[in-house]
Amino acid sequence: MNITNEQIKNMYETMLKIRKFESRAKDLFAEGKIPGFVHLYIGEEAVATGACANLNNDDYITSTHRGHGHIIAKGGNLDNMMAELFGKETGYCKGKGGSMHIADATKGILGANGIVGAGHNIAVGAGLAAQYKKTGQVCVCFFGDASTNQSTFHEALNLASVWKLPVVFVCENNGYGISVSQERHQAITDVSVRATAYNIPGITVDGNDVFAVYEAVGEAVARARKGQGPTLIECKTYRHRGHFEGDMTVYRTKEELEAWLKKDPIPRIEKYILENNIMTEEEIKEENAKVENMVKEAEKFADESNVPTLESALEDVYTDIVEEGRVR
């Protein structure tokens, strides 16, 4: 599969954006600036980046509770994202969604989702719309290993297969459903084998290798656009942080984390870039500084934005009805 140096640089930038955005979100959560829950994507950057590198602006994605990476990879704007995490009116959802519900219809982002497994079915709907309107769009549905135990996974793969919908199911197998390891939550090690039950191709790739993901999703996207139906791609990966910030990860060993840190996708792409003279050390440093600055700007934007007006809580429940407020 062809890939230009420009594409590789873009992938690297996307991975850095995710890593640095998430790392900053971790600190900001610890400082109390981000309320609620945050589920960080650190360690899994290659999956979203490699997958979304195959998509056009009008292609769709559905995401999960661990959605920041997907949104950044699909072109989400860091300013609006950070503002949403802060609960500000300039946030993607005007402060009404928060970390787990960021969406951007103009970029085909059908939303992060707080319900494990909910995205599968929505992706089927998006695929149905694309197929029905013959637009050539595809939908990439991101989800974790544990969500494949939900009925939605099975309903969605079945219907997508029966209707040959242009959906690429991308499983981020990070080995855990919250604290329960894969061997304790399903009697298989490779989610990809579940594809057999729905008569669609199912493959497993190294989810920490951005090129492996890019290539596999690229083939699946091409297949979907040709009307040949859905594909299940399992990306083996690992989250460096806990399920959410504040999770002490008592359920996993230090050795396991260390083994995975050695497979960190970002040093891997950096090594490739240097070995192939795509960028110099100096340029890599500059790129890092540039992305750090973007995150800083996003934080500044979020910090300086206003909190939403109370009236806005009553809007957007419906397109045409504003709910009643209260006097305090």
Partner 1 sequence: MKKMTYAEGIREGMSQRMRENSDVLLFGEDVGKFGGCFGVSAGMWEEFGDMRVRDTPISEGVIIGAAVGSAACGLRPIAELMFVDFLTVGMDQLVNQAAKMRYMFGGKIALPMVVRLPAGGGISAAAQHSQSLESWVTHVPGLKVVYPSNAQDAYGLMLTAIDDDNPVVFLENKVLYSVKSEVEDKVEPIPFGKASVTKEGTDVTIITYGRQVLDSLKAAEALAKDGINAEIVDLRSLFPLDKETIFKSLEKTHKVVLVNEEAKRGAFTGEIASIIAEEYFYELDAPIKRVGALNTPVPFALNLENYVLPNNQDIVAAVKSLF
Partner 2 sequence: MISIGIIANPASGKDIRRLVSHATVIDNNEKINIVERIILGAQALGVGRVYMMPDSFNMGYRVEEKLNTCDELRCEINVIDMYRYDGIEDTLAAAEQMEKLNVGCIVVLGGDGTNRAVAKVVKNTPLISISTGTNNAYPVMMEGTIAGMAAAATANGSFDESFYIERDKRIEIYKNGVLEDIALIDAVISKETFVGSKAIWDMDSIDKIFVSRCHPASIGFSAIVGSRKIILPKDDYGACVDINNNNSKVFAAVAAGVVAPVSVSEPIILNLDDEYKYTTSFRGTIALDGEREIQFSEKQEFVFKVTRHGPRRINVKRALETAQNNGFFKTKNDSLI
Taking CB under 8 A as the rule, does residue 123 contact partner 1? yes
CB neighbourhood size of 15 (10 A): 25
Question: Which distant-in-sequence residues (6+ apart) come within 8 Å of 231 by Cβ?
Answer: 168, 169, 195, 200, 201, 202, 203, 219, 220, 223, 224
- Between helix 118-133 and helix 151-162 the angle, nearest 10°, is 20
203 binds, among partner 2, partner 1, none (CB under 5 to 8 A by kind): partner 2
Long-range contacts from 313-320, C-beta under 8 angstroms, 24+ separation = 313/96, 316/94, 316/96
As a residue count, the chain comes to: 328
Q: Contacting partner 2 (CB under 8 A), which of 30, 188, 261, 289?
A: 188
Contact 1, 215 (CB under 8 A): yes
Distance CA 248, CA 10 (A): 34
Q: Contacting partner 1 (CB under 8 A), which of 101, 164, 185, 296?
A: 101
Q: Contacting partner 2 (CB under 8 A), which of 64, 121, 192, 305?
A: 192
- Write down the least CB distance from residue 318 to partner 1, Å: 5
In the shown chain, the binding pattern of residues 136 to 155 toward partner 1, with x for contact by CB under 8 A and - for none, equals ---x-----------xx--x
159 binds, among partner 2, partner 1, none (CB under 5 to 8 A by kind): partner 1
HSE toward the beta carbon, residue 105, CA cutoff 13 A: 2
* First and final C-alpha spacing in the chain: 62
133 binds, among partner 1, partner 2, none (CB under 5 to 8 A by kind): partner 1
Taking CB under 8 A as the rule, does residue 94 contact partner 1? yes
Distance CA 25, CA 245 (A): 10
- The residue among 120 and 243 lying less far from partner 1, judged by its C-beta, is 120
CB neighbourhood size of 123 (10 A): 31
Taking CB under 8 A as the rule, does residue 281 contact partner 2? no
Question: Which of the ranges 24-32, 130-138, 182-190, 277-285 carries the binding residues for partner 1, by CB under 8 A?
Answer: 130-138
Contact 99, 84 (CB under 8 A): yes
Q: Which residues bind partner 1 (CB under 8 A)?
A: 60, 62, 91-97, 101-106, 110-111, 113-115, 118, 120-130, 132-133, 139, 151-152, 155-156, 158-159, 162-163, 315-321, 323
Q: Which residues bind partner 2 (CB under 8 A)?
A: 1, 3, 183, 188-190, 192-193, 196, 201-206, 209, 211-212, 214-216, 219-220, 223, 231, 233-234, 255, 259, 272, 275-277
